[in-house]
Chains A and B, each alone.
Chain A
Amino acid sequence: MSVSTLPPSRLPGHKLNAQLTAPQRDPAFAGRVFWLGLALVLLWPLGVATEFRPWVMWEPDNLKVTAAFVASFWPLVHDAEFMRMVASETWRTVAMATAGVTLALVLAVPLSLMATRVLSLSALSGRMDRWPAVVRWCVRATLIVLRSVPELVWALVFVRVVGLGPTAGVLAIALTYGGMLGKVYAEILEGGESHATQNLMRNGSGRLQAFVYALLPSHAAELASYTVYRWECAIRSSVVLGFVGAGGLGQQLDNSMKMFNGGEVATLLLVFIALVALADRVSAWLRKALA
């Protein structure tokens, strides 16, 4: 091939020019297309497993039902009787969360004190003794099990035992959140500086005294702000618990949805969004005040 048949860009003199102007096409185009194709191939089994057929939603009769439901959102139901009921259910949701977190604290505080390694007397000199270590390990395992069962499953179980109503919801929140709070409290207490605590215990104070006068003051803000955060989460999950019959806004939402009463559903959803936003604000403000 002679030099003159080459395209101008291949000629030696054009090399510098070619580098200065940006390439017209993406240089990594082929690679990007390959990886995109591979990702789609890998996604295929996921779509099959989840029966993902979005076009079902656009079938005429399906679309008609959806459109009718969404259209019935307006006007919002706001007669006095319904609003009174919504107000009392909203309070019930907040009360369930508060009572649940209180009971969770009753569970979590002693367990986290038992699980904290910093408060071990035998660990002050070398290794912890065998039995204290075994007890601490067992308490920790209990906390992890309590926490890893979702609160909805606890609620399903308790609805069977104590019947429909807020008791099941409160117990479910108490158990799951007891596990969460206990585990995180123990981690927070072990996380910080422990010299003051150990000093007190070396000089003959009891474990509870060392906790109250050394460990608690240095971690109080963190513990309190985590508790407030969990209270906010509990409000969100107490709505969800209503769906299995534990009362509160969730149960009303479930009822209205089953009756296809779009106006009530829309009102309840708006109240719920407002409640979550309010809890978010209060919790953020409290945590800022505590920090």
Chain B
Amino acid sequence: MKPEMTPEMEPLTKAFSREAANPPYKLPPPIFDARCRACWFMAALLVLVAASFATLGLEWQAFLSMDAARSMGRFVAEFFPPDLSPAFVSQVTSAAWETLAMSALGTIMAAFLGLALAVPASRMSEQDPAWLRSPTRWLLNALRAIPELVWAALLLISAGLGPMAGTLALALHTSGVLGRLFAEAMENVPTGPGDALRIQGVGPLRVFAYATLPQVLPQLMSYTLYRWENNIRAAAVLGVVGAGGLGQMLSFHMSLFHMNKTATILGAMLLMVACVDALSFSARRWLTR
């Protein structure tokens, strides 16, 4: 049975038949075309990769030879059995607690410092001249660009060897990261409540405390928790330059070739990272359920 034609359908069918009557015949595009951006991009990528491998002078023979395989095997065999004597395990546990404390304290300090820097780095209202906006953003970018490990190495000079340098390093790098995220959050908040207060003549500090902050606080908390998770992982290795925690024990015992103890510390590190991953995964699932 032929479907009934309604007046509305008529132009549509006409257009369709015109399209379908003479399908344009297209040649496949040529492989290389001077205007093809993807081709140039791929070529540049290949050149970059080839140049990287060519100039680095990687010692494949040192790694892929039988000799290297044997030394690798010996090296791995030295790890076993891990040193599980109670005295050493309690040392590792206290170092793990130190790592955890470093990450927690560093993140808390970073949250406050980041908030203090995010306020001048954001334009709160249309009328806000925000003179300090770009200089503060530059400062935040610089704090963020230098990794925790480099900060720790720099801070060792004034803070001395030990976990305090690591804590301050985490705090400085993370405050750069959090400050930028906080500033973006504050600029994207609805301005209604703040404007209502401002029209009544309330000062900027109280507008921030009673209108802006309560609106962004949940987002700020979630950013901070996310960075804490990252910082636990970072704190575990910070000690390699002498800034406390599990990493310091690791580099100490590794440089003395105490391989059994090194294996225990590596195990503790893996366990800690795995616990943090599992906790954050289940927390996220619970929150987004």
Contacts and interface: CB of A to CB of B under 8 A. Distances in A.
A152 B237 contact: yes
B51 A95 contact: yes
B62 A162 contact: yes
Contacts of B147: 236-237, 239-240
Contact of B56 (A54, A96, A160, A239): A96
Nearest to B57: A166
A269 B154 CA distance: 11
Contacts of A254: 153
A243 B153 CA distance: 9
B145 A95 contact: no
Given A148-B277, A163-B62, A95 B55 contact: yes
A161 B251 CA distance: 15
B163 A50 contact: yes
B150 A240 contact: yes
B158 A45 contact: no
A82 interface: no
Interface residues of B, number: 59
B56 A277 contact: no
Contacts of A165: 59
A98 interface: yes
Interface string A268-286: 0100110011000000000
B233 interface: yes
A229 interface: no
Given A50-B102, A51-B164, A52-B164, A257 B58 contact: no
B162 interface: yes
A163 B164 CA distance: 31
A213 interface: no
Interface stretch (A12-20, A62-70, A121-129, A194-202): A62-70
A148 B149 contact: no
A51 B166 CA distance: 11
Contact of A253 (B59, B150, B274): B150
Contact of A46 (B59, B101, B149, B150): B101
Given A50-B102, A57-B158, A165-B59, A95 B164 contact: no
Q: Which residue, of B147, B158, B269, has the highest number of chain A Cβ atoms within 10 A? A: B158
A65 B162 CA distance: 17
Interface in B233-289: 233, 236-237, 240-241, 244, 247, 250-251, 254, 266, 269-270, 273-274, 277
B185 to A, nearest CB: 20
Given A57-B159, A98-B49, A243-B149, A153 B63 contact: no
A41 B219 CA distance: 25
Nearest to B159: A57
A53 interface: yes
B98 A50 contact: yes
A92 interface: yes
Chain B contact residues, majority secondary structure: helix
B160 interface: yes
B150 A153 contact: no
Contacts of A45: 101
A289 B44 CA distance: 15
A277 B145 contact: yes
Contact of B240 (A47, A63, A145, A156): A156
Interface bin, chain A:
35 or more
A273 B56 contact: no
B48 A98 contact: yes
Contacts of A143: none
Contacts of A47: 105
A240 B148 CA distance: 9
Interface in B125-156: 141-142, 145-147, 149-150, 153-154
Given A65-B158, A161-B72, A243-B153, A156 B59 contact: no
B187 to A, nearest CB: 19
B241 A50 contact: no
B116 interface: no
Given A161-B68, A161-B71, A236-B147, A49 B97 contact: yes
Contacts of B90: none
Contacts of A1: none
Interface string A201-229: 00000000000000000000000000000
14 contacts: A43-B105, A50-B164, A91-B55, A94-B52, A98-B49, A149-B266, A150-B237, A150-B273, A166-B58, A167-B56, A167-B63, A253-B150, A253-B153, A254-B153
**What are the 5 closest A-B residue pairs judged by CB atoms, nearest first?**
A49-B101, A95-B52, A66-B158, A98-B52, A50-B163
